[in-house]
C-alpha cells in the first residue's frame, strides 16, 4: 500500500494532537512533589469521640496514613482529591492551595491563614510551593484493599 504525502501529514498531525491532549485526559501528575509514607495502619472499627471541643467520628473501619511530603521550589501536587479527610501541617516554607474554582489560599508559619489546612470532598485541588516546603499529612480514608489515599483528577476548567 502506497501512502501519499497528505496521508502521512494527517497521521502525524493526529498523533501530535493526541499527545497534546493526553495530559488532560489522564489527570495532571505531580512535579517536584515527593511523598514519603511514614506509617499506614488500619483503624478496624468505627469510632465516635468528643473531647475538649474536638469531635472525631467514623461510621466504619478506615485506613490511616501519615506522610512527609517534600515540595521542591516551583513544585506542585497535580490536581487530585482525597477519599475521607486529610489534615496537613506545614513544617517549613509556604504552600498555596488551589480549589476547584482556582481560588488560592496560602499557608505557612506566620501567615494569616496559619500553618495547618484540611482537605475533604470530591472536588479537585492542587498544592504548590514557589520556594519549596515540607509538609506532614495525616489521612483518614475509607478502608480499601489496597489502601487509597489519593485520587487523580483532570484540571478544572479554570486551570
Q: Torsion-angle region of residue 84: left (phi > 0), alpha (psi -120 to 50) or beta? A: left
- Residue 54 confidence (pLDDT): 97
Domain boundaries, the chain: 29-152
β-pairing, 54-57 with 126-129?
unpaired
All three cell numbers of 124, joined, read 479537585
Q: Where are the beta strands (DSSP E) in 13-132?
A: 31-43, 48-51, 54-57, 62-76, 80-81, 85-98, 104-108, 116-120, 126-129
- Residue 26 confidence (pLDDT): 54
CA 62 distance to own-chain centroid: 19
Q: Considering only 6-15, 31-40, 121-130, 133-142, which range has the smallest mean pLDDT?
A: 6-15
φ, ψ of residue 156 in degrees (nearest 5): -70, 170
Question: Maximum distance among all alpha carbons in the chain?
Answer: 79
Residues 108-135 as b/e (b if ≥16 CB within 10 A, e otherwise) read: beeeeeebebebeeeebbbbbbeebbbb
pLDDT by residue (tens digit) across 58-88? 999 999 999 999 999 999 999 999 999 999 9
Q: How many whole angstroms separate alpha carbon 159 and alpha carbon 157?
A: 6
Domain 29-152 of CATH type 2.60.120.10: yes
- Name which residue leads in pLDDT, 25 or 51: 51
Q: What's the pTM value of the predicted model, to 2 decimals?
A: 0.81
Q: Would the pLDDT of 14 be above 80? A: no
Amino acid at each position: 500500500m502506497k501512502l501519499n504525502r497528505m496521508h502521512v501529514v494527517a497521521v502525524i498531525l493526529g498523533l501530535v494532537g493526541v499527545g497534546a491532549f493526553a495530559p488532560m485526559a489522564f489527570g495532571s501528575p505531580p512535579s517536584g512533589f515527593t511523598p514519603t509514607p511514614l506509617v499506614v495502619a488500619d483503624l478496624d472499627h468505627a469510632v465516635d469521640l468528643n473531647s475538649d471541643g474536638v469531635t472525631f467520628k467514623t461510621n466504619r473501619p478506615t485506613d490511616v496514613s501519615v506522610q512527609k511530603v517534600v515540595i521542591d521550589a516551583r513544585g506542585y501536587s497535580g490536581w487530585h482529591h482525597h477519599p475521607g479527610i486529610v489534615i496537613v501541617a506545614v513544617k517549613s516554607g509556604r504552600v498555596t492551595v488551589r480549589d476547584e474554582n482556582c481560588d488560592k489560599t496560602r499557608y505557612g508559619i506566620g501567615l494569616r491563614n496559619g500553618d495547618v489546612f484540611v482537605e475533604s470532598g470530591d472536588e479537585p485541588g492542587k498544592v504548590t510551593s514557589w520556594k519549596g516546603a515540607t509538609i506532614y499529612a495525616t489521612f483518614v480514608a475509607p478502608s480499601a484493599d489496597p489502601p487509597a489515599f489519593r485520587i487523580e483528577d483532570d484540571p478544572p476548567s479554570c486551570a
